Amino acid sequence: MKHFIIIGPPGAGKGTQAKLIVEKHNLRHISTGDLLRAEIKADTKLGRKIKAIIDDGNLVPDEMVLKMIKSVITKNPHVSGFIFDGFPRTTIQASDFDSHLKSLGMDVNGVISIIISDDIVKDRIHHRAMIEDRKDDMNDEIIQNRIATYHAKTEPLIDYYKNQGKYHEIDGNGTIEEIFTTISTLIERLSK
């Protein structure tokens, strides 16, 4: 079973690319943001707690996200692989995930990092706010907090995965199709 991770700042196009990748490469898409938004939609007590965190642009606690991820993996024993979008977002999540996969005799096959400037990210998030009804996309202060959180908490993953020889950078400035072609070629190479 293959495990690919796509990382990048909010608005980098992770979700868009992940959806295209699953269609072509027969992988299962896991977006922790989507899983958390589903919990919010269900309007459970937990969902309301999550909503307050997401609406402020902060990260949901590691244990909560890890529990969700492990549950999805357990429920899908027959898929050929997964593409994780928006997970891991902290080194604690990454190392716990590594241990979990190791206990199952598996491994992360590759990490694809979409590189894009903060200014372009802000433009893209403003555009997405008009299409999707996401409160965390509508307020400049919250957007700034999410970008700062990415730099502080998620960027350390770059060194974490570089040290494992699993890190691959993609220029996020091209068109959706151009970026997809580059990622696809990379996934084919890493799947061999």
- CB atoms under 10 Å from CB of 5, counted, come to 25
Stretch 134-173 residues interacting with ligand AMP (CB under 6 A): 136, 146
Q: From CA 149, how far away is CA 140, in angstroms rounded?
A: 14
State which residue, 4 or 87, has the beta carbon closest to ligand AMP.
87
Cβ-in-10-Å burial (0-12, 13-18, 19+) of 130 comes to exposed
Residue of 69, 101, 88, 120 lying closest to 6 (CA atoms): 88
Please report, as residue ranges, which positions from 8 to 37 form the binding site for ligand AMP (by CB under 6 A). Answer: 10, 32-33, 36
Residue 59 in contact with ligand AMP, rule: CB under 6 A? yes
CA-CA distance, 174 to 178, in Å (whole number)?
Answer: 6
| The one among 27, 60, 108, 170 contacting ligand AMP by CB under 6 A | 60
- Residue 43 zone, left/alpha/beta (φ > 0; ψ -120 to 50; rest): left
User: Which of residues 33 and 110 has its CB atom nearest to ligand AMP in the complex?
Assistant: 33
Q: How far is CA 161 from CA 7, 90, 111, 166, 168, in A?
A: 11, 12, 7, 5, 9
Q: Which of 9, 86, 110, 172 binds ligand AMP (CB under 6 A)?
A: 86
Q: Is 89 in the site for ligand AMP (CB under 6 A)?
A: yes
User: Per-residue x/- marks for ligand AMP, 114-133, CB under 6 A?
Assistant: --------------------
Residues that bind ligand AMP (CB under 6 A): 10, 32-33, 36, 53-54, 57-60, 65, 86-89, 93, 136, 146
